[in-house]
Structure 1
Amino acid sequence: MKRTLLFVLAAAVSLASLAAQDFVTGQAARLVVGQKPFTDQNPESSASVLGGVGGVAFANGVLVVADSNGVGASPVNHRVMVYRDLPNFVSDIHAEIPQTDAERCPVCLKEASSVLGQPNFEPPKEIRPAAQNSLRRPVGVAYNGRMLAVADTDNNRVLVWRTLPATNEAPADFVVGQKDFTSFTPNQPRAPRPETLRLPQGVWLDANDGLWVADTGNDRVLYYGQITQNGQTPRITLGQADAGSYDQAPFFTNDVKIRADTLLSPMSVTSDGTRLFVADFALNRVLIWNSVPTQNRQPADVVVGQPDMTSAISNNNGNLCESIGEDEDGNKLYPARCASTISLPRFALSDGRRLFIADSGNDRVLVFNEIPRENGARPDAILGQQGEFINQSSDSAEPTRVASTDSFKTPHSLAWDGVNLYVADTFNRRVLLYSPGDFFIPLSGVRNAASPLVFAQGFIVFSGELVTDDEITLTFGREGDEDSKRNYKLKIEEEATFESVVNAFVDLINTQDGGDPLVNAIPNVQFNAILLTARDAGPLGNDVTVERANSNEESTTLVTLSGATLTGGQDAAQIAPYALVAILGDNLTDFTSEVRDLSEPLPYQLANTQVYFDGKLAPLVFVSPDRIVAQMPVEMAGSNSASGIVRTIRADGSITVSTPVAVRLIAQNPNVFDTNESVPSPGIAFHFSSSATGSVQVDGINIRAGDKAIININGREHVYIVQEHPDRLDEDGEPTTDTAAEVVQGLVDLINERDPEVEAFPAGIFATRVRLRARLPGPLGNGIPFSARAVDEGDFDNATVILTALNTQLCCANQAGAVITEDNPAVPGETIVVYATGLGLVQPEAARDAMFNGIPYNGPEYNEAVEFVSSLAGGKTANVQFAGLKRGTIGIYEVHLELNPDLPTNPRTNVTIAQSFQVSNIFFIPVVNPIPGGGSGGL
């Protein structure tokens, strides 16, 4: 078993990747501030936990975060957090990440250095009145390495500190928008004055300490120059004729002025020293001035998010997106959004070369590798979404992406430290740090190592009598897409047989016009069947439709489909804690290692390569340029996403690091090791026992004392009487009785003590099955009859304990551990063994406590996956007798499957295991029924 699994782990499965160039669409964040881990969303704010964040700024190794927002996210903490000496935490992306054994997330920033607006880091109990050291919903912050400015939004003012405060609740030096520190009233709506502000949300400090303010409620942007006194008036006004004028119409009317020199609810203003950028929120656009404005109402030069300066449609798809077709009337259709559209932008920032836009209405950040020079420009990358046409930030529609490492829920503001981009992710209560890498791992490039690609499958069975000249049509297509359908027609010839029909259709499907683009066909002539496999791996294959038609409606030729669509396509990129994973890509490393023995401790560096998940080093099994096999740390349990990074030292001594990739985590997602030879692949399965075996199921809730559980073995009755436990009381204070597991153990003890032919053992730790095994190995034990029943204490059929014999006789002795092959096939009723990974946490607690990363499991032999495991083999239930960690191995689960005794002979009997809604890859084993023509079903 060990050598076979190691070979499978090293088998290459290619996923094309591209050389990383700057930021990459759909990439994950590298670090997080304000939550631990990334996905926590903890609402209990503290020195290390943020609330609904708004503004963010960075300079000189200091990160400043406004822990309040303007979008209704909770909690609103009315404070500004200061994180000093950030370079000690935000190390160079090429550096190793320091590790401690107890650290769940080494890339989660721990605590702020100081806080403004509050005396300490405890959540505020009440809103404080306006003062020199208080804040009320501060939304925007700016820091240029010398001065600090805060948009104290609900106090209708901007506070300015001449130097970065070093203590909590430090008082500001100046106030803008009010005459003094205790005033807070705004000007009347649509009646601004030079000295007033109304709900300002954005601030910026230029290299000369000049202050810019996005005066959101007055639909204008103001430039003050250096602040030297309270109540200072602006020098320049954008969006209005001057600081005392207002001519914009309310946003809810049809009279809104949309021009290059007007604004409506501007949320931010920033500058790269040459250009000026304004996020014109309510007009769904970002305006660019190619030089910093020097006069009032100076018009912008370029607009992003709209085709021209007079458009303001949210997600202006009809003018910025390519058509995706036409409706039945010939009208062009467009996607709801595309890369060039914008909805409700809240921030725009440039590093002098690139432009970043917080496209908050689409829950994404747009990245332009060059500053746009033309209207309606298209970005080069999108952060927060996996593509330009989608928004996957809905909690209900996308529950697996809630607060994931590659998503936002209303990105509010941005900051740049020269290498990394900081994004205030408001509703997820965190600040994410994004870094470009040296090479790129595909978005779904981290997969279950047992079977990285899981394909949907189906079948078509021919039966009845063939009728000459009948024309049978098989049709395959994509669900909801009539244009995707392809037809395959076959006219039945006079000498045709079911075998020839099957082979002819297989040839048509696989070769006509280059082969069907959606399915691949395999013949199974023993069942007069065509086995279908989707060409696309994963859930996409479940959308392949299958139809059949016959030119003769009264024909006796029957064509039976497994279903209207293919099924079984599963997402192997959802990873359970403790699972073995395969990281797929190109040029991951320059070296190829040996495959490490899973019965020995694993290294954390192999072939000059390291793998991190949320900054935590992962044990390594195998390293090569196109595949790395590692173990997902068990500490990832409870999260739905992790940030994965590969770090490698190249042959020339240089260090390269991948762009972070989001790894979707799940409690369990089992896949079974197979040979990876074909789709489906032969399973790596083994005979369980050298002695004949059988099983008895025991059920019952609130079993009555005195009931008798009886197993009869070859005429010998073993009777266990259900016991009462006076020392074990229920919630009402009444004595309890045996559980089903205790009845199982009682029967096991009786059989082992008394039966001369058969021994017994429980199936697992909370077993409700008695496993029977002949004491003599080999075929001598086959055929020993057994049965099971239960009666009450008066020997009437009124027992509350229920016994069911799952077989009628012991069977199927083979050689324990022998591989199942066509020369040594499984038989109906036999117990087989397969190995899997991704079954998640195990129980009891002693077993869970023995799950150590990179160390062979040495906990209790009787353990089981927390989530129930079921199985189908040949379309019939296979009884799962055991599903738990295999002692002495790393990340490997052993699963015992008792095959249905009514399976027919089939060299390609399909098998799966499942937990909850997660179904494994489909693999097949050869099964031979010793009774000619015996069994039913079986595909």
Structure 2
Amino acid sequence: MSRQLTVRLTRPGSAPPPTESAGADLTGGWSPHVWLGAPAPGGLALPAATPTMAWMYSPRGVFVNDDHLVVADSGNHRVLIWHGVPVDDEQPADVVLGQPDGTTEARSGGDRGPDNGMNLPTGVLIHHGRLLVADAWHHRILVWDTIPEASDTPPDFVLGQPDRTTVEPNAGGDCSAGSLYWPFGIALIGSRFWITDTGNRRVLGWDDGIPEPGQPADIVLGQPDATHREENRGSAVNASSFRWPHSLAGHRDLLLVADAGDHRVLGWSPHPANDRPADLLLGQPDFAIAQEWPYAPQQADRFRFPYCVALDQSDSGAQILAVADTANNRVLLWDGVPADGRGADAVLAQPTFSANGENRWSAVGRDTLCWPYGICLSGDLLAVADSGNNRVVLWRRS
């Protein structure tokens, strides 16, 4: 995001989260505005055998700003782009990438091969007019120097592979500062470009924005060096380790990483210039615990596979933190970034902080979720990749 964000860490003594009294509104003023993809309310809509520009299959990544919505339609191995923020339910996309047209679905571009195909794309990002896609199971990042206006536009270059046809983990060699294995998340925060290199259980950072092809990372976070790739550094979970780092957020002096496999979000302030322990923790009582909620005693401050984290300013200038608590079928929101690990201020898609049912164990509705995987904040607009319901839902705060 180009929006400027002043980081404010809320300290102990901050106001507690809303109480769960009967009938209490815990949404913080957020409500669903538009859904894209499978219809709602009603029963779960399975994806069509033949894709369309309006339907999706298990979308895992989403990006929204004032001018575009971008969705990683992961199950269809493609990316969909809307020019302008959609205003109508089930509005079809304007552009499709990774497939020759809007009705084709094939891994790696089918017979065309991976040169202009995708295999489970996840993270999507627009930065200063450039489009980036984490083509996760091809172990690479795709980069377009301008936002494509036409479908099936090939990327201008790739990161993590020597060319557009090589798709081996770690480029077919050993783990290094320039290789990738299941990269799921991408972010440009301040002047640094970050990738969650999930299969290598680490986060890579480049100091001067989007790197050139073949350029090794300046920062390897979560491993003792660029050649190691063990879960939690091959030891017990700690403040310097990841199991499944999956997405990133932050700004200037704050880096946040959703470590889905350890059921937590880690934070560094200021940004780490090298491998070092995290300063901030959400979702666990301490850095040595990786307990999976709902087995933990608290609910507003515990996660179960949090696959995405987002941070931005509201239209009024207040800071908003959001976490996709994926396996609990909800999105949690905080006013500010809590330095004390306190529970969320609001919850979306569940009636209380202690509920966690898929679609509330009921029918699909406008305000229900089933495995929300990716999220993106743009002021008072929240885009949610509701992967289990095969749709994206745009929420707004009044």
Q: TM-score normalized by structure 2? A: 0.85
Q: d(CA) in 2 for partners of 1:360 and 1:37? A: 19
CA contact (8 A) 1:62 1:85 kept: yes
1:57-111 superposed Cα distances (whole Å, 9 cap, x missing partner): 122420100000xxxxxxx11100001122xx44xxxxxxxxxxxxxxxx40411
Q: Does 1:257 align with 2:228?
A: no
Q: Does 1:301 align with 2:279?
A: yes
Cα offset, 1:166, TM superposition: 1.4
Q: Which among 326, 334, 346 is matched to residue 381 of structure 1?
A: 346
Q: Does 1:180 align with 2:163?
A: yes
RMSD: 2.6
SS, match of residue 165 in structure 1: coil
Matching residue's letter, 1:382: V
Q: d(CA) in 2 for partners of 1:221 and 1:241? A: 12
CA contact (8 A) 2:204 2:220 kept: yes
Higher relative contact order (CA 8 A, sep 6+): 2
CA contact (8 A) 1:425 1:431 kept: yes
Q: d(CA) in 2 for partners of 1:109 and 1:56? A: 16
**Matching of residues 584-603 of structure 1 within 5 Å:** none
Cα offset, 1:289, TM superposition: 1.5
Q: d(CA) in 1 for partners of 2:26 and 2:104? A: 42
Q: Which among 370, 378, 384 is matched to residue 409 of structure 1?
A: 370
Partner of 1:23: 28
Please say which structure displays the higher CA radius of gyration.
Answer: 1
Cα offset, 1:412, TM superposition: 0.5
Partner of 1:32: 35
Cα offset, 1:417, TM superposition: 2.0
Q: Which among 186, 205, 212 is matched to residue 223 of structure 1?
A: 205
Partner of 1:206: 189
Matching residue's letter, 1:222: L
Partner of 1:289: 268
Cα offset, 1:182, TM superposition: 0.8
Matching residue's letter, 1:423: V
CA contact (8 A) 1:189 1:218 kept: no
Cα offset, 1:152, TM superposition: 0.5
CA contact (8 A) 2:171 2:180 kept: no
Q: d(CA) in 2 for partners of 1:42 and 1:21? A: 30
**Matching of residues 393-792 of structure 1 within 5 Å:** 393=358, 398=361, 401-437=362-398
Q: Does 1:166 align with 2:149?
A: yes
Cα offset, 1:141, TM superposition: 1.0
Cα 1:383–1:189 shift into 2, 3 Å:
farther
Partner of 2:253: 274
SS, match of residue 346 in structure 1: strand
Q: d(CA) in 2 for partners of 1:84 and 1:199? A: 28
Q: d(CA) in 1 for partners of 2:332 and 2:173? A: 32
Q: d(CA) in 2 for partners of 1:123 and 1:38? A: 27
Cα offset, 1:212, TM superposition: 1.2
Q: d(CA) in 2 for partners of 1:402 and 1:361? A: 18
Matching residue's letter, 1:216: T
Q: d(CA) in 2 for partners of 1:246 and 1:272? A: 27
Q: Does 1:391 align with 2:395?
A: no
Cα offset, 1:133, TM superposition: 2.1
Partner of 1:707: none
Moved more, 238-247 or 187-196: 187-196
Cα offset, 1:248, TM superposition: 3.9
Cα offset, 1:317, TM superposition: 5.0
SS, match of residue 187 in structure 1: helix
Q: d(CA) in 2 for partners of 1:431 and 1:241? A: 38
Cα 1:243–1:366 shift into 2, 3 Å:
same
CA contact (8 A) 1:236 1:243 kept: no
Q: TM-score normalized by structure 1? A: 0.37
Q: d(CA) in 2 for partners of 1:38 and 1:160? A: 36
Taking only the aligned residue pairs, the percentage that are identical comes to 31
Matching residue's letter, 2:62: V
SS, match of residue 356 in structure 1: strand
Partner of 2:178: 195
CA contact (8 A) 1:354 1:369 kept: yes
Q: d(CA) in 2 for partners of 1:356 and 1:188? A: 34
Partner of 2:65: 59
Partner of 1:758: none
1:794-846 superposed Cα distances (whole Å, 9 cap, x missing partner): xxxxxxxxxxxxxxxxxxxxxxxxxxxxxxxxxxxxxxxxxxxxxxxxxxxxx
Partner of 2:105: 124
Q: d(CA) in 2 for partners of 1:313 and 1:33? A: 34
Matching residue's letter, 1:310: A
Q: d(CA) in 2 for partners of 1:311 and 1:43? A: 38
Partner of 1:43: 47
Q: Which among 326, 333, 336 is matched to residue 370 of structure 1?
A: 336
Q: d(CA) in 1 for partners of 2:60 and 2:289? A: 28
Gapped runs of 5+ residues in structure 2? 1-21, 314-318
Partner of 2:306: 345
Matching residue's letter, 1:277: L
SS, match of residue 427 in structure 1: helix
Cα 1:249–1:417 shift into 2, 3 Å:
closer
Q: d(CA) in 2 for partners of 1:218 and 1:126? A: 22
Cα 1:379–1:242 shift into 2, 3 Å:
same
SS, match of residue 233 in structure 1: coil
Partner of 1:83: 82
Matching residue's letter, 1:61: D
Cα offset, 1:407, TM superposition: 1.4
Q: d(CA) in 2 for partners of 1:241 and 1:190? A: 19
1:233-282 superposed Cα distances (whole Å, 9 cap, x missing partner): 111111012323345469xxxx6431111111111112233311111011
Q: d(CA) in 1 for partners of 2:382 and 2:210? A: 28
Cα offset, 1:49, TM superposition: 1.1
Cα 1:247–1:118 shift into 2, 3 Å:
closer
1:734-785 superposed Cα distances (whole Å, 9 cap, x missing partner): xxxxxxxxxxxxxxxxxxxxxxxxxxxxxxxxxxxxxxxxxxxxxxxxxxxx
Cα offset, 1:132, TM superposition: 3.9
Q: d(CA) in 2 for partners of 1:170 and 1:411? A: 28
CA contact (8 A) 2:193 2:205 kept: yes
Cα 1:56–1:28 shift into 2, 3 Å:
same
CA contact (8 A) 1:144 1:206 kept: no
Cα 1:249–1:130 shift into 2, 3 Å:
farther
Q: d(CA) in 2 for partners of 1:31 and 1:358? A: 18
CA contact (8 A) 1:29 1:435 kept: yes
CA contact (8 A) 2:124 2:133 kept: yes
Q: d(CA) in 2 for partners of 1:189 and 1:38? A: 46
Cα offset, 1:158, TM superposition: 0.9
Cα 1:172–1:126 shift into 2, 3 Å:
closer
Number of residue-to-residue matches in the alignment: 366
Q: d(CA) in 1 for partners of 2:93 and 2:325? A: 28
Partner of 1:647: none
Matching residue's letter, 1:47: M
**Matching of residues 129-144 of structure 1 within 5 Å:** 130-144=113-127
Cα 1:21–1:283 shift into 2, 3 Å:
closer
